Amino acid sequence: MKLSDVATIRGHFQEADFWIVRRGSLTSCGKPTRQFSPEHIGIKVERTDILLPDYLFLCMKYLHSQGLWARLATGSLELVNIRVSDVKSIVLNPC
């Protein structure tokens, strides 16, 4: 199951549960945040019966700490970015 199967993911999404930093340095790109910015990628969990937004936020923090976004980011060394499609394609493994 992909993240896009249980959540709405898009840019400029003020109603999202949390956001992913879309562009910045390799260390900041992909970092989850609770602060809205039109530049960030918003994630709103629609299937809260199988996935809690707070749990997904912690999972995204873990993925960021493991360097997932650094591998997917494109751009120069100074400024990189990730795409909405990168976030949508994250595979969720059921426990």
CA–CA dist 85, 1 (Å, integer)? 15
Average model confidence (pLDDT) for the chain? 94
CA–CA dist 52, 35 (Å, integer)? 18
Q: List the chain domain ranges.
A: 3-76
Phi-psi map region of 75: left, alpha, beta (phi>0 left; psi -120 to 50 alpha): left
pLDDT score at 95? 57
Q: What is the pTM of this model?
A: 0.93
**pLDDT, tens digit, 9 for 90 and up, residues 36-53:** 999 999 999 999 999 999
CA–CA dist 52, 93 (Å, integer)? 14
